Amino acid sequence: MGESVFLNGEFIAAEQAFVSIGDRGFQFGDGIYEVIWCYQGRAFRLNEHIERLLGSAAGIRLELPYGRDELVKYVKQMLTDIKWEYASVYIQATRGPAVRTHAFPSDVQPTVIMYVNQGQGVPTSTREAGIATIIVPDTRGTLCNIKSVNLLPNVLARQAAVEAGAGEALFERDGIGVVEGAASNIFAVRDGVLSTGPLSPYTLPGVTRDCVLQLAKSKGLPVALEFLSREELITSSEVFITSTSKEVLAVTDIAGHVIGNGRPGPVTLELADGYRVLVERECGIKFGDNRC
């Protein structure tokens, strides 16, 4: 973690940052969060992440004490002396500390925290090989479009993936199909068409997802916004996940079924490379000759 933490309008030493045990984020999971990936101290798609944070706040009827411009300013301040190759800015806002009662308390002041962690990029060997995934029942509710701190189903799903030696768990919802990963959006290529789930109460509006859709459009790739069944997914020629930290990462095995030829496919590689070119251009950095 960086040396300082933003807590309710002040930058203080990390070891001095404390939150009340009565905070509704701790008591009820009554809060939201955002994670912004940074390259060489420069936040990628910062405005889009802040807009999503504000959207999540509106989704739970939380009035933040800071507007968009203030939040952008604070993130940039957090990154002033950050030199790490990869870093993540974590922002969390809760309804604040109050006497424990389920309904919204009156006159409660929100708790807003922000800090920077050093990040680890996906190893080149993993990018070149792709990852295995498992499929788990989607036990979440219907507010998955809100980036809420209520992440217990995601935590349990990711732990199941770890114990299975997989890199991600995919949520399958009855009557709908495979909707997304525990911490990622999912894409597939079928008959030359790039498919991903539509924006819905079952999916997070991923910033990286949006970048990939923009890239696909610029490259003339046909796109279908639809949920795929388990069978449709495992018989796709290519599958990949997207997330802030994973970027565009091939899936080469789903629940023991090899995808395509078991290697990242041409569409996945083209979009992964295009994404990194986009990061280079918007952040003003260079990854070097090998962008995988």
Instruction: Give the CATH number, domain containing residue 8.
Output: 3.30.470.10
Euclidean distance between CA atoms 265 and 272, whole angstroms: 11
Query: What pLDDT does residue 84 have?
Result: 94
Query: Under 8 Å CB-to-CB from 228, ≥6 apart: which residues?
Result: 177, 178, 188, 190, 195, 236
Same domain as 155, residue 262: yes
Kindly state the DSSP code that residue 16 receives in the 8-state scheme.
G
Same domain as 247, residue 194: yes
Task: Specify if 290 maps to a domain.
Answer: no
Same domain as 101, residue 188: no
Query: What pLDDT does residue 292 have?
Result: 34
Task: Specify if 261 maps to a domain.
Answer: yes
Same domain as 95, residue 135: no
Same domain as 170, residue 67: no
* Number of helical (H) and strand (E) elements in the chain, helices listed first: 8, 15
Domain boundary among 95, 118, 141: 118
Q: Specify the pTM.
A: 0.95
Same domain as 109, residue 247: no
Euclidean distance between CA atoms 265 and 262, whole angstroms: 9
Euclidean distance between CA atoms 273 and 106, whole angstroms: 50
H or E element in which residue 268 lies? helix 266-283
Domain boundary among 69, 100, 118: 118
Query: What pLDDT does residue 3 have?
Result: 78
Task: Specify if 292 maps to a domain.
Answer: no
Mean pLDDT for the chain overall: 96
Task: Specify if 170 maps to a domain.
Answer: yes
- 71-119 residue pLDDT tens: 999 999 999 999 899 999 999 999 999 999 999 999 999 999 999 999 9
**What CATH number has the domain bearing residue 194?**
3.20.10.10
Kindly state the DSSP code that residue 151 receives in the 8-state scheme.
-
Task: Specify if 39 maps to a domain.
Answer: yes
Same domain as 142, residue 109: no
Q: At what angle do helices 46-59 and 207-218 cross, to 10 degrees?
A: 130
Same domain as 48, residue 8: yes
Same domain as 133, residue 62: no
| Cβ neighbourhood burial of 270 (10 Å; 0-12, 13-18, 19+) | middle
Same domain as 61, residue 28: yes
- 38-52 residue pLDDT tens: 999 999 999 999 999
Task: Specify if 288 maps to a domain.
Answer: no
The three-class DSSP label of residue 132 is strand
Query: What pLDDT does residue 157 have?
Result: 98
Look at the chain and report how many structural domains it folds into.
2
- pLDDT under 70 in the chain at which residues? 1-2, 288-292
Same domain as 136, residue 12: no
With CA atoms as reference, report the closest residue to 93 among 67, 73, 119.
67
Same domain as 63, residue 14: yes
Task: Specify if 291 maps to a domain.
Answer: no
Q: Within a 10 A sphere around the Cβ of 191, how many other Cβ atoms? A: 9
Task: Specify if 243 maps to a domain.
Answer: yes
Phi, psi (degrees; rounded to nearest 5) at 83: -115, 0
Residue-range definition of the domain harbouring residue 22: 4-118
Domain boundary among 101, 118, 135: 118
From the list 73, 76, 83, 147, the catalytic residue is 147
Torsion of CA 220, 224, 228, 233, to 10 degrees: -10
| 147 assigned to active site | yes
